[in-house]
Structures are given as structure tokens and as C-alpha cells.
Amino acid sequence: MSLSIRRSSRLLLSTAAIGLVLVAAIWPFYQVSQQQLAKAEQARIDAQPDVSRSDYQPRLDQLQQTADFSTLASTEMAGRRPGQPGSDLARDFLQRRFSELGLVPAGSDGFRQAYQTDDNGAGVNFVGKINGAETQLAAIVITAHYDHLGVHQGRMYPGSDDNASGVAALLALATYFQAHPPRHTLIFAAVDHEEQGMRGSQQLFDGKLFKPEQLALNVNLDMLSRDSKARLFAVGTYQHPALLPLLQPLQQDSLVAVKFGHDRPASLVGQTQDWSSASDHAVFARHGVPFVYFGVPDHPDYHQPTDTFERADVDFYHKVSDTILTALLLLDSADLALLRTKE
């Protein structure tokens, strides 16, 4: 090695050493800053009102919704993992329920939208719609994934909260809107493979069933049936600020504590979780479709064999579902074209 190379190497080593010293000096301040950001974000969420009514007249068919919920979370469906027998049972169930609801098939092949995955697996989405009174309006698509982790290493993961709860709510909402026709066309999509890369929701676009410009909004339902603090999060108002005034009425006279949050980048909130890419709404966002995601925080049974129907808070779950119905009614009455306007 020549003298000039040795000098260059010494310079590089010195620079690297200085860099390590600077990182070591700055790191404690960075950690403190991240903690302060996280505390500030949590304080912002906590400051939002916790208004909750105990007396209300249910608008959804609670008996049928509970039956759908318990069926999807049952041991017979065994966690609904694609490629396992429980998934086949879930698909037969969804085919029957979509037909019973009288939905209009969204595609030319009926409700079932079958597809192949890159690893030679097979998936099936179920997609139906209720035509809106104002046909010129772009559609609202309501999604909930029906797959879960299934049986793995001899243990069954029922996926009750995640996401039998969301699918049963989707079916209940479809029942309501069949009797109360909306302005916007409403598309109801029970999607597969969320737990394996959100491939089911991606197929809605890859299979040309949806074009982004035809969709006004995605409302995604994923984990709705339990929270020790009785909170429901609405995620997406940071990305789409025009959503906030549309949904804020939920906080003033709600059946549960509705919170806006978990959608800001980590650089703004430190260690607070960002759920903006946590479920199928992320696929719609990648295609330029505005979204709002309704869900509860993680709990100790998340992705565990103990996520069973028996651990659901059914009373809370029905109030959450009714709150989401109110949200959909607010959104259906609004000018959703505003969501695509740059703030």
C-alpha cells in the first residue's frame, strides 16, 4: 500500500471515529426527543373527548351480527388461513351470506374473485355492491379481511378480533344499507391474504376490478371487538385533513370514545405507533385512494391462540359497529371529492 493510501486510510479512520463520538454524544438527546414527541402525541390523543352514550336504539341486526361473528371465529373455521380447510369453510359461508344479503356482484364472475399468489397459493375475495341513488358519484368501498393465521405448529389461531369482528360488521352494515339506500354506491369487499402481504386487496386493483379514479374513499374495518379503555380509532385524518370535519361529530355524541390518531409519521410522533400501513387501507393509499381505517389498539391476545370469540366485549363491539354506521352516513352525505383536493 502506498504512502498516500495509508494517509487516506488514516483520514477515513479518524473521520469515522469522530462520527462515532458525535453519534454517542447526540444519541441520548435523540432518545429524549423521541420520548417527548411520543408523550406529546399521546397527550394530543388523550385530550380528545371521551363522550360515550349508554342509551341508544340499535340500528344494526345485532343477533345476526353476533351469529356471523361467532361463526367466523369458531373452531370449525380454525383461523381461516388460506390453503387450510377453515378457509374453505369461511369462503362457503361468505358466498352464502353475500347471496342472502341480495348484494349486486361487483364483477362479471359473481361475488367470488379468485386469484393466484406468487407462491402458487390461491385466494378468493368476495365483492358485492349496493348501487347508490346518485350514480355519477364515485363509490365508497368498505373492506374487511377474513383470513387469519389458521393452524400453525399444532396451535390454532382463531382470529376473533382479527378479523372476524370486522367481517361480521361489514355484513351488518350491508344489511342496513340494503334497507336504507345510500347516495354513493357502496362496495363491500371481504378480502383474503391480509396477513400475508395484503395480497387480496392488491388483487382488487391487479385484477382490474377497481380503478382508483372510480373510488371516492376506502373505509377499512380491522379489529373492532375489544379495548380495555373502550376506544375506537379513526386513522387517516392526518393524510386527508378534509376527513376531520366530516367525522368530528362522532366525538361529540358517540357510543364509544372515538379518537383520531395513529396516522402520523414516526418523525413527528416519536415512538407512538403509526397504523397508516397496518392493514388493507395501505393498498388503497398506494393507489391514491383516500382512506379511513377503524380499529382498536393491540391487546394481549393479538395474533395469539387466545384471540377467541369468548374474549370479545360484545356490547362494546355492537356500539363500535353502530358508531361506524354513523360515520358511513356522515361520509355518504358529504362531498367526498374534497378528499382528493390538496390541502
Sheet strands (E) in the chain: 104-105, 112-116, 122-130, 139-145, 150-152, 155-157, 186-191, 215-221, 231-235, 257-260, 291-295
Q: What is the pLDDT of residue 4?
A: 42
This prediction has a pTM of 0.86
Cell numbers given for 299: 391487546
Three-class HEC string of 211-273? CHHHEEEEEEECCCCCCCCCEEEEECCCCCCCHHHHHCHHHHCCCCEEEECCCCCHHHHCCCC
**Model confidence over 186-233: pLDDT tens digits?**
999 999 999 999 999 999 999 999 999 999 999 999 999 999 999 999
Alpha-carbon distance of 281 to 279, in angstroms, equals: 6
Q: Which position has the grid cell 417527548?
A: 36
Alpha-carbon distance of 253 to 260, in angstroms, equals: 15
- Indicate the pairing of strand 155-157 with strand 139-145: unpaired
Alpha-carbon distance of 207 to 113, in angstroms, equals: 9
Q: Which helix (H) or strand (E) holds 174?
A: helix 165-179
Can you tell me the mean pLDDT for 244-267? 90
**Model confidence over 24-57: pLDDT tens digits?**
655 454 444 557 666 776 776 777 767 666 677 8
* Cβ contact 272:257 at 8 Å: no
Q: What is the pLDDT of residue 30?
A: 45
Listed in sequence order, the residues at least 6 apart from 296 whose beta carbon sits closer than 8 Å to its beta carbon are 161, 223, 224, 225, 226, 227, 231, 232, 233, 320
Q: What is the pLDDT of residue 57?
A: 86
Q: What is the pLDDT of residue 29?
A: 47
Question: Measured between alpha carbons, how far apart are the two ends of the chain, in Å?
Answer: 58
Closest to 191 measured CA to CA, from 94, 277, 76: 94
* pLDDT confidence bin for 108, thresholds 50/70/90: confident
Under DSSP, the state recorded for 161 is I
* Cβ contact 52:257 at 8 Å: yes
pLDDT at 12 over 80: no
**Model confidence over 59-90: pLDDT tens digits?**
999 999 999 999 999 999 999 999 999 999 99
Q: How big is the chain, counted in residues?
A: 343
Sheet strands (E) in 86-205: 104-105, 112-116, 122-130, 139-145, 150-152, 155-157, 186-191
Sheet strands (E) in 67-178: 104-105, 112-116, 122-130, 139-145, 150-152, 155-157
Cell numbers given for 91: 369462503
Residue 23 has a CB neighbour count (10 Å cut-off) of 10
Closest to 276 measured CA to CA, from 249, 237, 242: 237
Residue 212 has a CB neighbour count (10 Å cut-off) of 13
